[in-house]
Amino acid sequence: MDHKDSVSIRVFSLNCWGVRYLSKHCSQRYAMIGDMLLQEEHDVVLLQEVWSEKDYLFLRKKLASSHVHAHYFKSGVIGSGLAIFSKHRIQDTLLYRYSLNGYPYMAHHGDWFGGKAVGLAILNIGTLTANFYLTHLHAEYCRERDAYLPHRVVQAWELQQFIRHTSAGADVVVLGGDLNMHPQDLGNRLLTSYTQLRDAYAETDNFDGCEDGLTLILENPFISQKVIAPFEKGIRIDYILFKGSCKADIQCVSMHTTKGSIPGQAFPYSDHEALTAEFTLAPSEAGGDFRSSNRVCALGDVARLVDILTEARTEVKVGVHCAERMRYTAARMAAMGLALLLLELAIAAVPWLTLGAEQAFPLNTFYLLVALCLAILLCTSLLYVFYTMELKSLQGTEDQMRLSVGGLQEKLRALPRAQPTEGVKPGNMFCAEE
Amino acid sequence: MDHKDSVSIRVFSLNCWGVRYLSKHCSQRYAMIGDMLLQEEHDVVLLQEVWSEKDYLFLRKKLASSHVHAHYFKSGVIGSGLAIFSKHRIQDTLLYRYSLNGYPYMAHHGDWFGGKAVGLAILNIGTLTANFYLTHLHAEYCRERDAYLPHRVVQAWELQQFIRHTSAGADVVVLGGDLNMHPQDLGNRLLTSYTQLRDAYAETDNFDGCEDGLTLILENPFISQKVIAPFEKGIRIDYILFKGSCKADIQCVSMHTTKGSIPGQAFPYSDHEALTAEFTLAPSEAGGDFRSSNRVCALGDVARLVDILTEARTEVKVGVHCAERMRYTAARMAAMGLALLLLELAIAAVPWLTLGAEQAFPLNTFYLLVALCLAILLCTSLLYVFYTMELKSLQGTEDQMRLSVGGLQEKLRALPRAQPTEGVKPGNMFCAEE
């Protein structure tokens, strides 16, 4: 691509691990990140886990000359952690909060308080409109028994929906962030199949970084052996994804990641590796209708999408089942609390009604039990409300997935039978509808 | 417009007032609504306040022959209340939950539990792609001292953002719902100026319904005198808005509303009046780039937008101030609760430390006070978390509005000075930036 109007841009993405007072060397690392960004002058910088607005403002000040435009996406209790710095004017922004994001009582995991979301910033680069998406999905704390998998699948579903529905007017689309999903994980397949976003690591011939593009590696001194142990060398969960349109071509010229240490520095920027991708953008010579590129699908692609959707629906259904069970438990606990309260009141009322009879119930125990019952009632009521909301979100996603499967099956029936199905078992294509 | 490919569609919108056990004649009214919809066969039916999924399923079954396609948007604790029935296949759906929607402890208002949102359903009508949006904003309980105004302004802001960002691929856009805003209210101006949506009532020459298009009227037996009293005859808060694109023209041929009673029925369908609009859709002969229609603005339009945004920012800042005050109060209460708890423990500890001294603190009072302190601590902590989230959303919106004002001012500077400003004071155009 050597179009005369072509533009070259460099995009940077990093999960900053910016939990004040808890993350190691937090302020020193922010100073290092600021220095590096000021020097490197990437066109667009996508940061995650900038949990404190003070740290964002520190970077904003530091990068005032190199990255004139910036936006911090506020959400949840401690912020979404998402920040974008840009050399190009940010025309517009939009934030979409994921409907599910862990549980508030899992405070040690902390995801719920972060109000995880996807941020969109619309930039004009040359003559092109570029949609930059920035996100951070719910963490995976235990791969074998991942209680958050349904939540992450819902987040991946909402992410692909949000990108698809908001990018019709964009000439190029770039998504950067910590997806907390391995390359072949269900959510990742859902995201890339639906949006047709391409992985910068897989698309470039010029990669310099960790083996297999890993972004969480044992060589990083902030990573504990325990986290990486099940995965041999490390995992790849941070990505820069991209796509063009019929109006513009985009190609990933090169990509590199840090490798666990920074030459001349005592420690790396973060516990995650930093990603930098260089793209070439050029107005497309073909032209035509952008939307059509999303619509024309081969039979094999559609069938594969149906398979992925079926798998995702199964996972969401597991989530529905769990939420129903938890809600039922909360309701049962509330009922027990109420029954205990009524029983106590009844026992206490007996001597009061039969005047003169001695109060058999020690008053201290009585007060303690009443307080306990009220505490149980309050907590279980809050949990009941929370699980009901979780259930509604899961069921809503399942409904949307069913609708999508229906549409895809309609498409499958309409597509000419002659097209090759590329190894997809025909029997699987129609197994998703209930 | 008598294009050979033109299509005529009828759109229906109604706030169903479907609170089971609380709304009057709820099930009878749903039966009436179902019968009418089955008979009328509107192309698209947009319903709000269908709070119970059972009622949705009742309508779904009833309309199985007339409206084959339907979707219920699930959200919040009791659902978003939004349902769409369509004769045309629903290709895709998306739900955007507003970040602010009242307070959970205002249970008698109930809005928080509804998880207010905007639903999008994408339909193919003939050769055209039509985006149907369906929403219900936070109610206004007292116009003079409207504590929810900042929340509703944020909702209107998010609504216009959502419509703008998701409709780039649409040939026509229709929004129906109960906006809980009068025609000239700030949120309404924000919505229509940004999206360029046109009001079906104002656009048609053929209107049959209540005077001034009112949708909440005194003649409706479900409406109490108290609600309408300050507004003479009633208020208009339900709308059908629409716009075309460079690819398609849309015109509102006629519109009608119910008038408080239904001939031959004992009572109306709801406490709101039902809206029906008939549109003619036709592929545009001009063609061209759809997005450009949103971008080319006259100097006067841009300046007016800056004025509206400034007003909206002021309202959001009022909200920020209130949320900060409430959060401060919650924090102070929590501190007092904690101090009281520590004081109590200290008093109780004195005789325990000076062994043998008599316990001065009656044990019953001690337990009661400890329980009280713990209850205060729990409640104020929850409130603190809630207000922090409210604050984050308000501040985030304010940031986005400031960014938008900046962009508009840039545009103003770039636009030729010669264009008339149409009565907008130039002094106002630049007063929004801080």
For B189-255, the DSSP string reads: HHHHHHH--EEHHHH-S-EESSGGG-SEETTSTTS-HHHHGGGTTEE--EEEEEE--SSEEEEEEEE
* B409 in reach of chain A (CB within 8 A): no
Q: Which amino acid is at B1?
A: M
* A68 in reach of chain B (CB within 8 A): no
Q: Which residues of B touch A364 (CB under 8 A)?
A: 363-364, 367
* A227 in reach of chain B (CB within 8 A): no
Lowest mean pLDDT among A214-218, A269-273, B107-111, B376-380: B107-111
pLDDT value, residue A145: 86
Q: Do B177 and B156 meet the contact criterion of CB atoms below 8 Å apart?
A: no
* A96 in reach of chain B (CB within 8 A): yes
Bridge pairing between strands B128-136 and B172-178: parallel
Q: Which amino acid is at B115?
A: G
pLDDT value, residue B360: 63
CA dihedral for B386, B387, B389, B394, sign (positive or negative): positive
Nearest CA in chain B to A53: B392
**Strand intervals (E) in B23-171:** 44-48, 69-73, 82-86, 90-97, 117-125, 128-136
- Is residue B431 scored above 50 in pLDDT? no
pLDDT digits (tens, 9 = 90+) for B29-47: 999 999 999 999 999 999 9
Residues within 8 A of A (CB atoms), B 343-382 only: 363-364, 367-368, 370-371, 374-375, 378, 382
- Is residue B308 scored above 60 in pLDDT? yes
Q: How many CB atoms lie within 10 A of CB B321?
A: 12
CA distance A365 to chain B (A): 9
C-alpha A229/C-alpha A218 separation (Å) is: 9
What does the pLDDT average to over B201-223? 93
User: Cβ contact (<8 Å) for A75 and B162?
Assistant: no
C-alpha B277/C-alpha B252 separation (Å) is: 7
What is the SS3 assignment for A229-257?
HHHCCEECCEEEEEECCCCEEEEEEEEEE
| Residue ranges in chain A whose pLDDT is less than 50 | 1, 288-296, 418-434
CB nearest to A165's CB, from B75, B94, B396: B94
CB nearest to B74's CB, from A96, A120, A392: A392
C-alpha B159/C-alpha B134 separation (Å) is: 10
Helices B363-414 and B149-166 cross at an angle (nearest 10°) of: 50
Q: Do B154 and B316 meet the contact criterion of CB atoms below 8 Å apart?
A: yes
| Bridge partners of residue B355, in order along the sequence | none
CA distance A165 to chain B (A): 5
Q: Which residues of A touch B385 (CB under 8 A)?
A: 77, 104, 113
C-alpha B136/C-alpha B119 separation (Å) is: 10
pLDDT value, residue B356: 62
C-alpha B333/C-alpha B57 separation (Å) is: 46
Which strand (E) or helix (H) includes residue A300? helix A299-353
CA distance A159 to chain B (A): 11
Share of chain B above pLDDT 70, in %: 90
Mutation target for B interface from A392, A394, A397, A405: give the one with most B CBs within 10 A.
A392
Mutation target for B interface from A57, A78, A94, A157: give the one with most B CBs within 10 A.
A94
CA distance B122 to chain A (A): 10
pLDDT value, residue A110: 81
Q: Which residues of B are catalytic?
A: 272
pLDDT digits (tens, 9 = 90+) for A30-86: 999 999 999 999 999 999 999 999 999 999 999 999 999 999 999 988 889 999 999
CA distance A387 to chain B (A): 9
User: Cβ contact (<8 Å) for B77 and A403?
Assistant: no
pLDDT value, residue A289: 41
User: Cβ contact (<8 Å) for B403 and A166?
Assistant: no
CA distance B126 to chain A (A): 17
- Is residue B146 scored above 50 in pLDDT? yes
pLDDT value, residue B42: 97
Which residue from A311, A277, A398 is spatially nearest to A14, judged by alpha carbons? A277
* φ/ψ bin of B267: left (φ > 0), alpha (ψ from -120 to 50), beta (otherwise): beta
Nearest CA in chain B to A158: B94
pLDDT value, residue A98: 95
What is the SS3 assignment for A383-413?
HHHHHHHHHHHHHHHHHHHHHHHHHHHHHHH
C-alpha B78/C-alpha B98 separation (Å) is: 15
Residues within 8 A of B (CB atoms), A 100-129 only: 104, 113, 115, 120
Nearest CA in chain B to A376: B375
Q: Do A112 and A278 meet the contact criterion of CB atoms below 8 Å apart?
A: no
Nearest CA in chain A to B76: A389
* B385 in reach of chain A (CB within 8 A): yes
pLDDT value, residue A12: 98
CA distance B369 to chain A (A): 10
Mutation target for A interface from B68, B73, B74, B84: give the one with most A CBs within 10 A.
B74
pLDDT value, residue A361: 66
pLDDT value, residue A402: 93
Q: Which residues of A are catalytic?
A: 272
pLDDT value, residue A430: 30
Give the Å distances, CA to CA, from A22 to A18, A50, A134, A326, B141. 8, 13, 24, 31, 45
User: Cβ contact (<8 Å) for A93 and B166?
Assistant: no
Nearest CA in chain A to B366: A364
Mutation target for B interface from A74, A93, A387: give the one with most B CBs within 10 A.
A74
Q: Do A120 and A166 meet the contact criterion of CB atoms below 8 Å apart?
A: yes
pLDDT value, residue A360: 63
pLDDT value, residue A76: 85
* A404 in reach of chain B (CB within 8 A): yes
Nearest CA in chain B to A165: B166
Record the tokens describing residue B243, joined without a space.
Answer: 């716009």
Note the pTM of the prediction, 2 decimals. Answer: 0.89
pLDDT value, residue A431: 31
